[in-house]
Amino acid sequence: MKRAVVKVAAAVIEKKGYILIGQRQRNDRHPLKWEFPGGKVEAGESPRSGLARELREELGIEARIGPEIERYEHSYRNRATLLLIFFRVSEFIGEPKSLAFERIDWVERQNLPLYDFLDGDIAFVRRLAAKDV
């Protein structure tokens, strides 16, 4: 039996050479792990519109969703498979606020691997830090 695939859209938000990341809250699944802002794409949403909604909810910004950077599947044990879709975001209105995270941080690209990211993001983080994406 094939498990359902859940679409997750995430933003690589760039500003002046820094990338915005968020730390999951301590009472969330995968507590205090770092991730890129975004979330599950709801039924009837495109990945871009779902990501724009998530960025309003998580950061309080109105973002112009740029080009897709990469997509791949990742499975956590005993969970649905995730289809992770990353988009570049370099234009947004408002100053990002931590509305859903323990905290947010602007990080230089090469320093991203120093953070404790979700398992599903680690290989992407390495490629992003090395400017391979």
Query: Average pLDDT of 46-75?
Result: 97
pLDDT at residue number 90: 92
DSSP labels for 72-119? EEEE-TTSPEEEEEEEEE-EEES----SSSSEEEEEEGGGGGGS-B-G
Asked whether residue 97 carries a pLDDT value surpassing 70, the answer given is yes
Domains observed in the chain: 5-129 (3.90.79.10)
Q: Which of 122, 125, 121 is nearest to 109 (CA)?
A: 125
Average pLDDT, the chain: 94
Q: Is 40 helix (H, G, I), strand (E, B) or coil?
A: strand
How wide is the angle at C-alpha 106 spanned by C-alphas 45 and 55, nearest 5°? 15
Q: Is 101 helix (H, G, I), strand (E, B) or coil?
A: coil
Q: Could you tell me the pTM of the whole model?
A: 0.93
Asked whether residue 65 carries a pLDDT value surpassing 80, the answer given is yes
